[in-house]
Structure 1
Amino acid sequence: MKICVVGAGSLGSTIGGVLAQAGHQVTLLKQSQKSVDEILTNGLTLNESGQDQNIKVNAITTSDITQYGVADLVIVLVKSFDTFKAMTAAKGLVGESTVVLSLQNGLGHEDILADIVGRSHVIAGKTYVGGVMQSNTYINSGVKGKHTIIGELDGRLTERVTQIATAFEAAGLITKVSSNIMGTIWDKLLVNVATGAISGVTGLTYGDLYQIPEVGNVAMKAVQEAINVAKANGIQLSMENPEAAWLLAKEGLSNDFKTSMLQSIERNAPTEIDFINGAVVRWGEKVSIETPYNCTLVACIKGIEARISQQANNKH
């Protein structure tokens, strides 16, 4: 299968590397020519459980897309707020039968992708595979035992989604096809709603976050709003108790774990708030459900982002 990974950071490189090792024609779409040259020269090294595996994999920048042509599968793993820009630049990868698979965090990027390439090309998924980038060519990967779930947006069990799941499975990526992928996306969203923004606002790691009853109370109120909104929009969830999402969020994670939203804030980088709590607010507006807790968390994170931006501008 001819596969291109758009957003080949730690997770994209991990998944792309595993698929390349299994014999697929994988290309990583990188932003800089320097990154491309390093990968073409040195290959990609994945370290899984202390074992290094060097994998030959192709890499290009957007200026090479015309020469590359169309892919059978485009895997999108850019940050949600970069979806429009990245996929617009990569639109040349999409031909008549190309499948565009989003494995991104949050909710709403599948609609952005559909607007760019056409809804019939888009399938969605969630992955629990992990990766930490040590350099452009060296990734600490977490693949073993980690599940990936993919599915058609309309819930149909099609040949193309089955073929992709089979290819992933054969490469060592535990993958199942869901007939309720929007429910799966919302299930993961509930977990992100539980801890992401409130961790970003307070600056607390999990060990401290779960020691403060008032924090847990607000988190579960925000999750309850998300559950109400999902049900009103006809989404089938696997959990309907907000405490379940709150407890699931910390399962298997250390006390010093930081949510991705807190990590973004500490790096002075934009967060994915618009695609997490912000998505709850937008979907709530569609069905006339008020979401005051999520609205407040969005406002707080937006305020923090504004402060970071002002501080950066003042330095220049």
Structure 2
Amino acid sequence: MQETMKGVAVFGGGALGMLLAGKLALAEVPVTVWTRTEGQAAKIREAGISIEQPGRDPAQAVRLDAAAFGDVHPGYEGIVLVALKQTSLNEPLLAEMRRKLGEGAGIVLFQNGIGHVERAASFLPGRELLAAVTTEGALRIGETAVRHTGSGETWIGRWEPEADTPADSGKPSLPEAAANALEKAGFSVFVSNQIRERMLRKLLVNAVINPLTALWRVTNGELPATPERLSAMRALFRETEGILRLHGLRNADDDELWETVLGVCTATAANRSSMLQDVDAGRETEIDAMNGAVSRMGEASGMEAPWNAAVTALVKAILSPKERGV
């Protein structure tokens, strides 16, 4: 990590962004949250962020700096934890990030799905980019409040591990610096040299759980509750796993991966998936970055993906033309 790097900014005022920023602030890590709107930033500056945590009553409130991203002064060179959804990480926003973030910035991407690291790299040359995979559960319950619905684990690493910080830099590497900050905030964090494998594993889990919970309007725990649902889960799993095996998913056998999917349903039984939350709120979902991406990967490898294509089309069809901005 370069000498100019200082502080932590969390980009995103959704559930994960507020959870990361709030817990960093509680741990007295210097942190600023960047929101998409000045309205939310003003409310956070006034009231702080309130975090509801399992087994802890009442909620913890913490004051911290906040700013709308459009007001951020160009040249920022600290650590940036990007907690926006894939749907927000579009070309106009990445172009704005290029203007705002100096080449000394270290950027950690927390998006679901796949494809965002390459897209960000093309817009942000010279900046050090990491990918992060997390199983932390969070639910936004207001513009300044978040519920921590379940503790999980977070992995951080370079998409291309060989592009490492020189050993003689005398500074902690970006993965170590980001992990240290998050560990101080109470998160369980691991630096991984196989982050692509971690991302593909999470993509497999998300591609099974998210679209089906969104289509059937059920919690994660309710998903495998009937033979019919379990059969559909299994079919979608088999198709997705077969495609991801051709794109780098290697270090686990079929049974282990299937048990991982079922284990997530059990461990997060009361959770409503992020895709279900988006559907309920009439928001655009991340279906294109999940099952849509799997379909495209299958097509590129000469494999059909009828299950992934079907759930992609069905989830997209839920939103009305008005909600889709048509």
Q: What is the TM-score normalised by the length of structure 2?
A: 0.85
Q: Give, in angstroms, the shift of residue 257 of structure 1.
A: 4.2
Residue 304 of structure 2 aligns to a residue whose secondary structure is: coil
Q: Which residue is equivalent to 2:38?
A: 33
Residue 88 of structure 2 aligns to a residue whose secondary structure is: helix
* Residues 206 and 72 of structure 1, relative CA distance in 2, 3 Å threshold: closer
Residue 250 of structure 1 aligns to a residue whose secondary structure is: helix
- For 1:206 and 1:14, the matched residues in 2 are separated by 21
How many aligned positions are there?
Answer: 309
- After superposition, the C-alpha distances for 1:135-160 in whole angstroms (9 at most, x for unaligned) are 322332357x4311111101346522
Q: Which has the higher helix share?
A: 1
- Equivalent pairs: percent with the same residue? 25
- After superposition, the C-alpha distances for 1:74-120 in whole angstroms (9 at most, x for unaligned) are 11111211111433333333212211111122222222212221386
- For 1:136 and 1:81, the matched residues in 2 are separated by 19
* Residues 160 and 245 of structure 1, relative CA distance in 2, 3 Å threshold: same
- For 2:147 and 2:221, the matched residues in 1 are separated by 24
Residue 71 of structure 1 aligns to a residue whose secondary structure is: coil
Q: Point out where structure 1 has 5 or more consecutive residues left out of the alignment.
A: none
- For 1:55 and 1:82, the matched residues in 2 are separated by 26
- Which of 147, 150, 172 aligns to 2:156? It is 150
- Which of 286, 295, 300 aligns to 1:286? It is 300
Moved more, 221-230 or 82-91: 82-91
Structure 1 residues 16-27: aligned runs within 5 Å: 16-27=21-32
Q: Which residue is equivalent to 2:229?
A: 215
Q: Which residue is equivalent to 1:250?
A: 265
Contact 2:24/2:31 (<8 A) preserved: yes
Q: Which residue is equivalent to 2:321?
A: 309
* Residues 6 and 22 of structure 1, relative CA distance in 2, 3 Å threshold: same
Moved more, 43-52 or 279-288: 43-52
Question: Match of 1:42, as an amino acid?
Answer: A
Q: Give, in angstroms, the shift of residue 222 of structure 1.
A: 1.8
Superposed CA RMSD: 2.5
1:79 equivalent in alignment to 2:85 = yes
- For 2:40 and 2:322, the matched residues in 1 are separated by 30
- For 1:232 and 1:218, the matched residues in 2 are separated by 22
Q: Give, in angstroms, the shift of residue 187 of structure 1.
A: 1.1
Q: Give, in angstroms, the shift of residue 311 of structure 1.
A: 7.5
Structure 1 residues 94-105: aligned runs within 5 Å: 94-105=101-112
Contact 1:14/1:46 (<8 A) preserved: yes
- For 2:30 and 2:23, the matched residues in 1 are separated by 11
